[in-house]
Amino acid sequence: VWRRPAGLAPDATSVDTYAGGVFKELRFLHGRVTQLGYRSRGGYAVCPVVEDGITAEARIWIGEHDGYDEYGTETGPLGWTDPSGRALTAAEVGPVAWSEGMRMAAALYAGRDVA
């Protein structure tokens, strides 16, 4: 279980704890997204969560697929949106949506290239 850090500003709209995970090829990161059971959409890995009847979507940048060229990518910041795509602030994200988003970001980041 990931808990929201006490010092995080309530108006923050993203977290960069797992940003900067470098992958040699974009397809490696996209493959990891699928392998872990997440979906990718518009260059983001996404995880929808319904909490107390409210839907929030955790999303982390993974890079845009542009053909089958071999080029690298890296994970970006993690954020949450409502069903209309509006960015949620940390104060608007429930504890389950927060934890599930952090879990997704950590799992993707764990597959990065470490050299």
Mean pLDDT (whole number) for 63-76: 78
Is residue 5 assigned to a domain?
no
Is residue 115 assigned to a domain?
no
Give the pLDDT confidence of 83-96 residue by residue, as tens digits.
999 999 999 999 99
What is the C-alpha separation between 90 and 66, in angstroms, rounded?
A: 32
Domain count, the chain: 1
Give the pLDDT confidence of 3-28 residue by residue, as tens digits.
999 999 999 999 999 999 999 999 89
DSSP lists the bridge partners of residue 74 as: 22
Is residue 78 assigned to a domain?
no
DSSP lists the bridge partners of residue 103 as: none
